[in-house]
Structure formats: C-alpha cells, structure tokens
Amino acid sequence: MRCFSTLLAAAVALPCLAADVRVPFEKYKLNNGLRVILSRDTSVPVVSIYVLYGVGARAEEKGRTGFAHLFEHMMFQGSANAPKGMHFKTVESNGGSLNGSTHPDFTDYYETLPANKLAVGLWLEADRMRSLAITQENLDNQKEAVKQERRLNFDNRPYNTAIVDKWPEVAFGNWQSSHSIIGSFEDLNAASVEDVAKFFKTYYAPNNAVLCVVGDLKPAEAKKWIETYFGDIPPQPQPRRPDLAEPADRSPRSEVYHDPHARVPAVIVGYPGPKRRSPDFYALLMADVLLTGGDSSRLQQSLVKGKQSVVQYEANLGWPFSGPADYQDPAVYAVFALHNPGFSGKQIVEQLQEEFDKLGAAPVDAKELERARTFLRAAQIRELQSTMARARLLAQHEYFDGDPGVLSTEIDRALAVTSAQIQAAAKKYLTAGKRAVLTIVPAPQAPAKEGP
C-alpha cells in the first residue's frame, strides 16, 4: 500500500460490509486460442481495450535481457496497415488515450476510446498482433529510445537504478527473477532483427494473449468485430515457461548501494512471499494494510509521526514491479522507506523489523482490523470506477488464475482474514532470518571529465 491519507479519508465514511461489488463479464475463446473477456457498462459512453501478452522480463534468456521492454516499444512502431505513428494519432485524435507497460510476467497494451470507436481500437490491436513492422530501421530506432529512457528515468534519477537493477539481485537467487527488468545496453546492442522476429513469433501470438474490453459495448457487435479482426491470426506453439524456482537457502542478505543522485538515504526491506491466492497471501495482504495503509497505519503512526525516522514509504506484495492482482510467486513482500539522515540505515531496518515482530507477537485489535478492512474496501471501490482498471484486472485474473471472476471474490477473501491468521503469517514470513536488505546511501557525484 502506498501511504495515501486522502484514500483513507474517503474510506472512513463507508461501512465495512462484505464486498458486494460484482463485475459482470462474458468469457470465451477464439479458435486460434485468443482468450476474450467482455464486460458491459453503459454508465459512460467509453470503452477500454486491454491486451495482455504472456511474456515479461522473467521469460528472457541470458544475453537477451531487456527484450520484453524493447518489445513494448517496438509494438508502437507500426504494422502492415497502420504505419508508424498511426496508432497514437488515431487514438488521440478521437479523444482517447493509450499506453503499454512491461512487467516481470507479462506485457500489456491498452487504450480508452469513445464507445463508437471500439472497432477502430480493436483493428489497431489486431493489426500489430498480426503484422508488426520488424525492420532494422525500427529496431535501431527503438534501441536508442530504450537507452534514452533508461538514461532519463533510471540512470539519472535517484533510487531508480538501485530499485530496478540492484534490488532484484538482493531479493532473488534465480537469475530469471534477479536480472534487471530494463536490461543492459550490451544486450540491447547485440539484438538482431532475427532475434526480435523470433521473439515476436514466439510470444506475440493469439494463443499467448488475453483481450479484454470493458465499457459501453454491444456484445454481439463486439464479438463480430473481434472475430473479423483477430480470428484468422495464426496461433503458435505455446512458449515454454521459465523455471522460476528459488534456491532453498533463505539466509539473510544485505547490500549497500551508493547512489550519486540521492539526497536522502533509503532502505528496501523484503521477505519471500507466499503462494498466490493462498490463505497466507490474503493474510499478508491484510498485514500490509495494517502496516502501511493510510494515516492510521502502524508505520505512519510509529515511524513517520512518532520517531520521525521515516520520511516516506511504499510497500506491497510484489513490490516494486507488481501488486496483489499481478503478484506471481516466487515474489517478495517489500517495503521501500526514505528516512531521516539522522538515523542510520541499520536503525531503520531494526525499527521496521520491530513493527513486523509486533504484528506477529500479539493479536490485532478488533477496531484496528476493522479500519484496515474499511480502507481496503474503499480502495477497491475507488479503483473499479475506471473501465480500464476493470479491464486490466479481469485480464490479469484470467491470465494468472484462469478465472476473471476472481476480481469479484478477492476482496471477500481478504476481508474474511482473521487476527489470528495475520499474526501467524507475520511470524511465518516477516522474520529477520528471511530478510533481504538494500541500503541506499547518497554518494557524491563523480567529477565530470575534462575534454581533450
């Protein structure tokens, strides 16, 4: 949970009842294996289109890091019937918005459009699934774009390089999970058109994708368009899933990263998380709300307001690259904390561990647990107001769980977690003996080299 007091303010006015938010949907599959989810909502005349491909950074091979992210860029470089720039121009000229993102276990592409432009959005997505323009010119152009993005958003910003490159190495022992989600310049430079074409054919096939449309749609009409645009795209052999198993050794790990751009020190503390959708998963989800959810949370009250040792924090199951909806084990529960320079990183780690130990040592007070449930319930209501959020969550639950309907039942399972379950999960998972720590220390920038 991020530390957002405004969300808590909205939450306190709501009764903490069992969740009654149900998102209706229809699910079916095309002959080529494309999984389709439709969810009708006529309250606003818009539609959101969300396409998820079952490939992320953890599917990459050694020497080919960054391919998932590179492909996120390549997918906007044009296709057989939609030249470069047309996708952006068409969506935005119709008052819509669009984007894509790379994750450890999937890559997604999405747009929100006026309802009467649904066919246009579906056609654009189908055309690039069918016939992406993989050329040397496009590849060279996007290699440089990815490098520039890395320079601007990671290498020249505080904390980001530590989070993206160093933290995975500390948190995981298996290379599939521990390498950078962005990749290296060396691997990008080595990528050939043949490599990229093979990656596209392997992973960007209809049978490795989920299409979800949410909004003011006519189901029969939407189905006709989806069949017309996507139905004859040929499937490919289902790609092999990587072995993500972590080494059995869970001894504590701790490293220090000297960040030349940071002005305030920080720590990242993480613990190996539970199986997705297991009882412990929901117990740790509620533990996270108790620890970090809003102004009344334990970390806010104890460390931010009380000791005044922590300045800002964020945490989640799967942090920093995923959250509970797209959490896929093996993963971690992690907390990132910027802290007062008057405290050492070691002191902050000890203070965080003290809060985790307290959670495992004594039952949660009934009133405190009720506040956490209310906070979580309000967060779900707020998120589901967006058609894009519903499309994303429905597709992700189909991909990870094989059932979009999980969206309507997850909150019930979280709200049903008891104080005893939270206490047991905290004692089992949030222990110093399983802890990984990355301390981020501000470091002087190296002096610029003088030219010849």
What are the residue boundaries of the structural domains of the chain, listed by start?
Answer: 26-230, 245-442
Residue 436 near residue 247 (C-beta atoms within 8 A): no
Q: Which contiguous run of DSSP H or E holds residue 339? A: strand 332-339
In this prediction, residue 250 carries a pLDDT of 72
Complete edge-to-edge strand list for the sheet that includes strand 97-102? 26-29, 35-40, 209-215, 46-53, 107-114, 97-102
3-state secondary structure of 100: strand
> 245-442 adopts what CATH topology?
Cytochrome Bc1 Complex; Chain A, domain 1 (3.30.830)
- Per DSSP, what are the bridge partners of residue 338? 266, 312
Q: What is the pLDDT of residues 13-60, one digit of tens each?
A: 323 334 467 899 999 999 999 999 999 999 999 999 999 999 999 999
Burial profile 258-296: b = 16 or more Cβ within 10 angstroms, e = fewer: ebeebeebbbbbbbbbbebbeebbbbbbbbbbbbbbbbb
Name the residue among 288, 256, 290, 257 with its Cα closest to residue 271.
288
Q: What is the pLDDT of residues 143-169, one digit of tens each?
A: 999 999 989 888 899 999 999 999 999
Question: Measured between alpha carbons, how far is 374 from 350 in angstroms, rounded to an integer?
Answer: 29
In this prediction, residue 184 carries a pLDDT of 87
Question: Measured between alpha carbons, how far is 34 from 400 in angstroms, rounded to an integer?
Answer: 15
Superfamily for domain range 26-230: Metalloenzyme, LuxS/M16 peptidase-like (3.30.830.10)
pTM comes to 0.93
In this prediction, residue 452 carries a pLDDT of 42
Output 238-245 pairs: Cβ under 8 A, ≥24 positions apart: 238/207, 238/208, 239/54, 239/55, 239/59, 239/202, 239/203, 239/208, 241/59, 242/58, 242/59, 242/176, 243/174, 243/176, 244/58, 244/174, 244/176, 244/177, 244/330, 245/174, 245/330
Question: Measured between alpha carbons, how far is 229 from 396 in angstroms, rounded to an integer?
Answer: 22
Terminal Cα distance for the chain, rounded? 51
In this prediction, residue 248 carries a pLDDT of 86
In this prediction, residue 20 carries a pLDDT of 64
Q: Which residues of the chain have pLDDT under 70?
A: 1-20, 445-452
Q: What are phi and psi of 49, to 5 degrees?
A: -115, 125
- Asked whether this chain's domains 26-230 and 245-442 adopt the same fold, the reply is yes
Q: How many other CB atoms are found less than 10 A from the CB of residue 346?
A: 12
In this prediction, residue 61 carries a pLDDT of 92
Name the residue among 273, 274, 267, 279 with its Cα closest to residue 310.
267
